[in-house]
Each structure stands twice: as C-alpha cells, then as structure tokens.
Amino acid sequence: METVEKIKSQIEQNTIILYMKGSPKLPSCGFSSQASQALMQCGQQFAYVDILQNPDIRAELPAFANWPTFPQLWVEGELIGGCDIIMEMFQKGELQQLVSEAAERNPSAEA
C-alpha cells in the first residue's frame, strides 16, 4: 500500500508531473520523448518520475490511474492522459494553456 501512498503524495505535491521512461533530457522511449518535449515547450517547470528507476511505481500506477500505459501526465491532481492525448492537446494549443494556467494558480508549488 505504501507505493500508492507515494504516488498520491507525488501527485499532490507537484502541480505538473509526468510519469515517464527516462528523464526529459534523456528519455528512454519515443513516447516519453515526445511527451516531455511538448511539456518543455510549454515553458513551465514540471516534475517527472522515471518509472524505469521506480519499478514499484511502474507496477502500481496503471491500476491506480486506471490508465495502462506510460507516459502519464498529471496536472493539478488530474490524469490528463498519455502521449497521444498530450501531443493532440499540444498541437491544438490546449496543453500550453492548461500548463500555464495550472502554474499560475500554484506558483508556490513550483521549485
């Protein structure tokens, strides 16, 4: 149960958090690369968790989120979706708006 508590805590403590394979600067899969690139282009700070370094989270998060794949983007405690949804929102300009509004509402939460 403590893995789920850790996930809940990460989501609560970070306005924008991406669960991905690798890191934004060194992604370990194409989908994580696309998702992190889109987020970086939004120009706001975001947290990330490398699920390859955290097998417990990799195992538990799909059930917790009811979302089977990675990456997973969470904004203000809500699951936004995976790579396809992130890229579609980015191309429409929706991701930039969502991310900047979330960052504006939670300035102290960003490091």
Burial of 106 (0-12, 13-18, 19+ CB in 10 A): middle
Alpha carbon distance 67, 24 (integer Å): 21
CA 6 to chain CA centroid, nearest Å: 15
Alpha carbon distance 57, 3 (integer Å): 6
Which residue ranges make up the annotated binding site for glutathione?
Answer: 21, 58, 70, 83-84
Which residue ranges make up the annotated binding site?
Answer: 21, 29, 58, 70, 83-84
Which residue ranges make up the annotated binding site for [2Fe-2S] cluster?
Answer: 29
